[in-house]
Amino acid sequence: MAKKTLDMAKKNKSDEFYTQISDISVELFNYKDQFKGKVIFCNCDDPYESNFFKYFALYFNFLEIKKLIATCYIGSPIANTQLSLFDYESEENKTTKLPHKIEITEVDDYNGDGAFDLADVEWLLRNKKNALTRLTGDGDFRSPECIELLKQADIVVTNPPFSLFREYVPLLVENNKDFLIIGNTNALTYKEIFKLIKENKIRTGYTNFNVGMYFFVPDDWEEYHKIENGRKLVRVSTSCWFTNLEVKKHKEYMTLYKQYTPEEYPHYDNFDAIEVSKVSDIPCNYDKAMGVPVTFLDKYNPEQFEVLGNLGSYAPDGYSLSGAIFINGKKIFKRILIKNKGVQK
């Protein structure tokens, strides 16, 4: 169903997957110390309607962030659905027609109710000049206007369009930005992303990427999994967090206990490496190339293992193989080629 959902999105040229605030909270809680004093940029979000914006606005003071910036692209299908921030304008010029940005440097108890909440953020946006302004361009993250905002930021946090992931991540890397973003797990083997994994410049986040996530979709989506509070949700099992921030689990050593035997770990027919069908079965005493499932990357510690390549698809810098891989004539699913650094010879 996850593949069908993504295929449907591609067919409809739609990337409108909106992240639930519960999933955002679970992951972002782990980076509190890394957010402190930083400028956060949500550059693929409709400000205020976005749960990324809401999270950072709600926890602005708790996280001690310096500044929050969010931008809206032209034609966003959920703009103005929860809060009309431009009531003074004609229908023709509402946010669905013209993109905008929000910049916040403080959140205070503006309404005097003794709490910092979205009501205070709403008051701020309606009453503080320059907090909410129009963009002159289309709000696309690749536009000159948004790139200038990107240069001001320390950390980018958002859910970018899955179909543009190959363009999106290199833009962040080129501008030397820290980031925490959601993407399709298949992106782990894209040549643009895999190269960064090999160089230890990108890694998965804390959320187990075998769990998948539910995303809100626009009302006109015909296929969905459930409805909550009147909104449609689809489950995308192939979704996970990508980041270049510190993630503690990628510094933990995997406990290896199995011993290598030729019977249990056969060689591929057409490549000089052994097959390890489960990450938990990586042998502790084998120091040559091994093919492991892609799920290995969610536990990958660069101090313990070296990632050599990517079997069954693009594989940069040395190990490569075009087409499928086989054992006794049977096709094997895509594998990550690794080597254990810690084996004593």
Q: Is the pLDDT of residue 317 over 60?
A: no
pLDDT in tens, 299-313: 999 999 999 988 875
Q: For residue 175, what pLDDT band results from cuts at 50, 70 and 90? A: very high
Q: Is the pLDDT of residue 82 over 60?
A: no
How far apart are alpha carbons 124 and 320 in whole angstroms? 55
Q: Is the pLDDT of residue 292 over 50?
A: yes
The lowest-confidence range among 222-231, 238-247, 314-323, 324-333 is 314-323
* C-alpha triplet 264, 267, 271: angle, nearest 5°: 160
161, two tokens: 């369009």
Residue 8 exposed, middle or buried by CB count within 10 Å (0-12, 13-18, 19+): middle
Q: Is the pLDDT of residue 15 over 80?
A: no
3-state secondary structure of 166: helix
Q: For residue 244, what pLDDT band results from cuts at 50, 70 and 90? A: very high
Contact 79, 94 (CB under 8 A): yes
- Return the closest-CA partner of residue 203 out of 6, 31, 29: 31
Res 63: pLDDT:
95
pLDDT in tens, 133-157: 888 888 899 999 999 999 999 999 9
Other C-beta atoms lying within 10 Å of the C-beta of residue 72: 29
How far apart are alpha carbons 97 and 74 in whole angstroms? 6
pLDDT in tens, 197-236: 999 999 999 998 777 776 656 666 667 556 767 777 677 7
Partners of 70 in the β-ladder? 42, 102
Res 48: pLDDT:
60
Mean pLDDT (whole number) for 11-20:
56
192, two tokens: 């643009």
pTM value? 0.83
300, two tokens: 């990958």
Q: Is the pLDDT of residue 96 over 50?
A: no
